[in-house]
């Protein structure tokens, strides 16, 4: 099962996005006789079930909401979290850079709250697979709950383990590490990646990147890229089109590399 419902009318069990007037939104699974309390009044689920996608409903105070199928970006932004999560601007580029497409076999660590997990699960399809490693059991419980909201549980294997002890798979197409010290696990990455496979990581500070670069060169990784994605939103008003007042100025740097042949290069530091 997945969250993109079939047909053009909402039904009980569908995950819906209720979009208010000021782009504020709620994500709710539709349940008969349930209601949703919002700052703009109560919305009764019974009034939402059986509506055409894209139609407008009103709260008990008369405030309007549109009913949409949630997009993957809205699902990620709405993910319940206990950790820093990854954002759309970074995830989109990661998928392209690491060729994470239908059929790919992928490893990620750590699972965290599972925001990247959900996107990779959506993208690799039924013929691909994601192995998601996490040292803290309680994080994976939350990530599993987040994933179950959109389905695709059968595309992800959660492994509760310190990656210091290595990965259990080999010949993996792409490995992404979202944890503070990826430079400590490059041997493990190399052992699990297919020859030429894609490695990627996200690091918040340049000091960490320097440490990583030294290890990547030594362990025969090629085609190394360090980048940062900036995204600027504009307020969509025809008569005062301009950037919004606030901006996320920094999430992290992205580092990518390909696993080349050879194990240790002591001379290229």
Ligand X SMILES: C[S@@+](CC[C@H](N)C(=O)[O-])C[C@H]1O[C@@H](n2cnc3c(N)ncnc32)[C@H](O)[C@@H]1O
Measured from the CB atom, the residue of 84 and 157 that comes closer to ligand X is 84
110 upstream amide cis, omega within 30 of 0: yes
Measured from the CB atom, the residue of 154 and 165 that comes closer to ligand X is 165
Contacts of 92 (CB under 8 A, 6+ apart): none
Q: How far is the CB of 116 from ligand X (least distance, A)?
A: 4
Q: How far is the CB of 59 from ligand X (least distance, A)?
A: 32
**Contact criterion met (CB below 8 Å) for 174 and 94:** no
Measured from the CB atom, the residue of 10 and 140 that comes closer to ligand X is 140
Q: How far is the CB of 68 from ligand X (least distance, A)?
A: 24
Q: Which residue of 51, 84, 157, 169 would you call a contact of ligand X, by CB under 6 A?
A: 84
Strand ranges across the sheet with 15-19: 25-29, 15-19, 64-68, 56-58
* Subset of 127-186 contacting ligand X (CB under 6 A): 133-136, 139, 162-164, 178-179
> Token pair for residue 35?
């209601």
Q: Which residue of 10, 59, 105, 113 would you call a contact of ligand X, by CB under 6 A?
A: 113
DSSP for residue 63: -
CA of residue 165 relative to chain centroid, distance: 25
**Contact criterion met (CB below 8 Å) for 93 and 254:** yes
Q: How far is the CB of 253 from ligand X (least distance, A)?
A: 14
Site pattern 44..83 for ligand X (x: CB under 6 A): ---------------------------------------x
d(CA 84, CA 36): 27
């Amino acid at each position: 099962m997945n969250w993109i419902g079939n047909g053009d009318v909402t039904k009980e069990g569908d995950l819906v996005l209720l979009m208010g007037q000021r782009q504020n939104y709620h994500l709710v699974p539709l349940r008969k006789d349930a209601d949703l309390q919002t700052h703009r009044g109560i919305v009764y689920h019974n009034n939402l079930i059986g509506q055409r996608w894209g139609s407008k409903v009103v709260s008990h105070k008369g405030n309007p909401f549109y009913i949409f199928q949630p997009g993957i970006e809205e699902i990620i932004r709405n993910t319940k979290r206990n950790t820093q999560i990854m954002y759309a601007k970074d995830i989109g580029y990661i998928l392209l850079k690491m060729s994470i497409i239908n059929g790919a076999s992928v490893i990620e660590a750590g699972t965290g709250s599972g925001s990247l997990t959900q996107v990779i699960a959506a993208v690799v399809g039924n013929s691909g697979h994601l192995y998601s490693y996490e040292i803290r059991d309680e994080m994976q419980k939350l990530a599993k709950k987040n994933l179950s909201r959109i389905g695709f549980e059968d595309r992800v294997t959660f492994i509760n383990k310190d990656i210091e002890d290595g990965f259990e798979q080999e010949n993996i197409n792409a490995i992404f590490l979202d944890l503070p010290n990826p430079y400590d696990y490059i041997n493990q990455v190399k052992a699990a990646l297919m020859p030429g496979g894609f490695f990627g990581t996200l690091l918040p500070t340049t000091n960490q990147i320097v440490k990583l670069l030294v290890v990547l060169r030594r362990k025969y990784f090629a085609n190394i890229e360090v980048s940062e994605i900036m995204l600027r939103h504009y307020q969509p008003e025809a008569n005062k089109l301009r950037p919004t007042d606030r901006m996320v100025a920094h999430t992290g740097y992205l580092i990518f590399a390909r696993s080349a042949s050879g194990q240790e290069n002591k001379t290229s530091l």
